[in-house]
Amino acid sequence: MACGLLPIFLIQAWRETGHWRFGRLLSAVAAEGVVILGQSLLNPSQRLTSLKYLLYRPVNIASTPGVLARWLGDHHLVFSYGAVNVLGALPMDLATGIFLLGALLGLGILWLLAKGKITLTGASILAVGLLLVAMKVSSPQYLIWWAPLLALRRGTPILPFAFALTMLAYPLEAMMGLESLNLPTLTMVFLLLILGLVQLFLHRDPDVKSLSQDLSI
């Protein structure tokens, strides 16, 4: 998710300064490379595990391609990777098609930002939403990426309320016995997330205009 926002920040920095500033980006990539390299050296046999996990994980039932596959048929359900997934040729084809369409729409978001037709906050909200829709795996906690962005945006509270309702999945699943996680812990996490979002939403700055203001730096 974070990688999907990097081009947006680079374009906004270029719009404000007239220069492409890759220094901090390269520093972040280098730091991440050192961490990954260190893990690979300590455990060579597992160095590609995370990439294989993402590549071979089946389509999640709650994702966009998963929902469409269930509507269109030609699939079967299986519990794997700690979630209910949709198996079959159709779900994977849908996931590939939606991902490619999402990539094209993502380029459109970058173009709109470069032309000044949308703000940094608006572009970030659209990009995160697009990633959530286009991914083959979906989970309520992914919406946490929207929380600080919604806090900066002026307008309707529908999205924060949708976020709050979605997060109810955790305590409800635990109470229905669908998850083996600890109910008090889930409830605490849920309350902290919702209270934090409300706090951000109530204290947002309506005059955010620049990259430095949006990022509070």
Which of the residues in the chain have pLDDT under 50? 180-181, 205-217
Predicted confidence at residue 100, as pLDDT, reads: 93
How confident is the model at residue 101, as a pLDDT? 93
Question: Which pLDDT score, from 0 to 100, does residue 177 have?
Answer: 57
Distances (CA, A) of 78 to 59, 60, 61, 100, 102: 10, 10, 9, 25, 26
Q: Which of 88, 92, 103, 95 is nearest to 3 (CA)?
A: 103
What is the pLDDT at residue 111? 92
Note the pLDDT tens digit of each residue in 37-52. 776 677 666 666 666 7
CA distances to 71, 137, 169 from 190, rounded to whole Å, are: 30, 21, 9
* Helical packing angle, 64-72 and 89-114, nearest 10°: 140
Would you say the pTM of this structure is higher than 0.85? no
Task: List beta partners, residue 59.
Answer: 86
Residue 149 is predicted with a pLDDT of 76
What pLDDT is stored for residue 12 in this prediction?
A: 83
- For the stretch 106-128, pLDDT in tens is 999 999 998 888 888 888 888 88
Residue 201, pLDDT score = 54
